[in-house]
């Protein structure tokens, strides 16, 4: 009798599962190994280094009877065990809603020409070493025209349905605080059109974070990307304002894919802070990438930078040391 009850219970469970929504599951991964030679004016940042990064991506997708598409994204760094992107979305005729720790619309709609490259190195801009380095902050300068969006905080985003070539969205976040003084709002839009044989994309994004009893942190990015056959060209302008910060940044990049699959690219960035007189940053990035086999790519990158400061630039401690350097790297990228 007991065996009969167990059997009928198992059959009932299978029947319930057959009527429940079963999601499509995909598991992918990526790994990178990098060897870099760093030539830097600061001795602590000069030398050779090897690094390795590996991630696993687990994605779920389910289509409801009402026509909604529900998806979940889970990305994990298998070395540290830390999550990189954990979110879920609901999509339908109304557009798409995204909830969780993932990039907001400033990261999705911004124009960052360095995205045409794969492994550029902005350079080490911290001038102090040893015990002094603990009190030294990152240089107060921008190394790209992107909004600096990170996916560390939980947020909600809404993306409008595409209207012709126009896409747009808005994001809101409390940055994980109950105080309500660091609420962040983001807005972004892109417009894609064809100009003859060229595909043109215009983009704009803005991000504003409230700061209690201080100046809000505002970031903007606008630019254009043109793709014609195997050549891509992009240029953008960005700005960042905050307490004691008024940065303006311009960047441009170009990439070209040869018939043999080799892609060569070049990118450049220039940034200055008008409130810290004399603080300027310039960088040039040269790159070649080649698909060795399906899912395996080799990338060679040479990046040089020049960071100028003076003794009034508190972001570089009291040293006021101008810095420059060159990083040459070989990266192997595998996708699974």
228 falls within a domain: yes
Give the range of the structural domain holding residue 221, as residue numbers without chain letter: 25-335
Question: What CATH code is carried by the domain that includes residue 116?
Answer: 2.40.160.10
What predicted TM-score, i.e. pTM, was given to this entire model? 0.84
Helices (H), the chain: 2-19, 105-109
Taking the mean position of all CA atoms in its chain, how far away is CA 179?
A: 27
DSSP one-letter string for 40-91:
ESSGGG-EEEEEEEEEEEEEEEEE-TTS-EEEEEEEEETTT--EEEEEEEEE
Decide if 79 is inside a domain: yes
Query: Does 65 map to a domain?
Result: yes
Model pLDDT, residue 311: 60
Per the domain annotation, does 31 fall within a domain? yes
For residues 238-277, one letter each, b for 16 or more C-beta atoms within 10 angstroms of the residue's C-beta and e for the rest, the string is: bbbbbeebebbbbbbbbbebeeeeebebebbbbbbbeebe
For residue 179, the model assigns a pLDDT of 57
Torsion angle, CA of 69/148/153/29, rounded to 10 degrees? 60
Cβ-contact 228, 197 below 8 angstroms? yes
Evaluate whether residue 7 is within a structural domain: no
Partnered with residue 325 across adjacent β-strands are 40, 305
pLDDT digit string (tens) for the chain, length 336 residues: 444 333 444 444 444 444 445 779 999 999 999 999 999 887 777 889 999 999 999 999 999 999 999 999 999 888 777 777 899 999 999 999 999 988 889 888 988 899 999 999 988 776 555 444 444 445 678 888 876 555 567 899 999 999 999 999 999 988 655 555 678 899 999 999 999 999 999 999 999 988 877 788 899 999 999 999 999 999 999 999 988 889 999 999 999 999 988 999 999 999 998 887 778 999 999 999 999 999 999 999 999 999 887 666 555 544 556 788 999 999 999 999
Q: Which of 169, 178, 22 is nearest to 98 (CA)?
A: 169
In order, the DSSP letters of 224-243 are EEEEETTEEEEEEEEEEEET
- pLDDT value at residue 309: 79
The reported pLDDT for the residue numbered 320 is 58
Cα gap 73→86, rounded to integer Å: 6
Instruction: For the chain, count helices (H), then strands (E).
Output: 2, 16
Residue 88: both structure tokens together? 């879920």
Is residue 6 domain-resident?
Answer: no
What is the pLDDT at residue 80?
Answer: 77
Instruction: Report yes or no on 16 lying in a domain.
Output: no
Residue 257 tokens, joined: 């894919």
Cα 316 to Cα 30, 126, 186, 306: the distances in Å are 36, 6, 30, 14
CA pair distance 182, 214, nearest whole angstrom: 11
pLDDT at 333: 96
- Does 102 fall in a domain? yes
What's the structural domain count of the chain? Answer: 1
Q: Which residues pair with 327 in a beta bridge?
A: 38, 303
């Amino acid at each position: 009798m007991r065996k009969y009850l167990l059997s009928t219970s198992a059959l009932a469970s299978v029947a319930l599962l057959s009527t429940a929504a079963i999601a499509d599951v995909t598991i992918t991964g990526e790994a990178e190994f990098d060897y870099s030679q760093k030539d830097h004016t600061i001795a602590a940042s000069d030398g050779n280094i090897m690094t390795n990064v590996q991630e696993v991506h687990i994605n779920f997708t389910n289509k409801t009877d009402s026509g909604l598409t529900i998806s979940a994204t889970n990305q994990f760094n298998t070395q540290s065990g830390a999550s990189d992107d954990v979110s879920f979305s609901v999509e339908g005729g109304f557009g798409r809603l995204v909830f969780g720790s993932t990039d907001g619309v400033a990261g999705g709609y911004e124009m960052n020409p360095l995205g045409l490259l794969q492994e550029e190195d902005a350079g080490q801009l911290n001038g102090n070493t040893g015990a002094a380095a603990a009190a030294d902050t990152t240089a107060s300068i921008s190394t790209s025209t992107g909004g600096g969006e990170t996916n560390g905080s939980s947020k909600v985003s809404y993306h409008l349905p595409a209207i012709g070539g126009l896409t747009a969205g808005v994001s809101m976040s409390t940055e994980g605080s109950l105080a309500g003084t660091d609420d962040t709002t983001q807005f972004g839009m892109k417009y894609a059109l064809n100009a003859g044989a060229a595909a043109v994309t215009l983009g704009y994004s803005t991000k504003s974070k409230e700061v209690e009893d201080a100046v809000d942190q505002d970031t903007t990015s606008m630019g254009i990307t043109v793709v014609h056959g195997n050549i891509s060209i992009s240029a953008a302008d960005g700005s960042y304002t905050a307490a004691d910060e008024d940065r303006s940044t311009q960047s441009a990049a170009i990439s070209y894919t040869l018939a043999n699959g080799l892609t060569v690219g070049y990118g450049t960035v220039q940034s200055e802070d008008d409130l810290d007189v004399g603080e300027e940053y310039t960088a040039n990035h040269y790159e070649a990438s080649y698909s060795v086999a399906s899912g395996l790519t080799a990338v060679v990158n040479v990046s040089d930078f020049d960071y100028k400061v003076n003794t009034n630039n508190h972001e570089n401690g009291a040293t006021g040391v101008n810095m420059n350097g060159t990083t040459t790297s070989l990266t192997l990228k595998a996708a699974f």
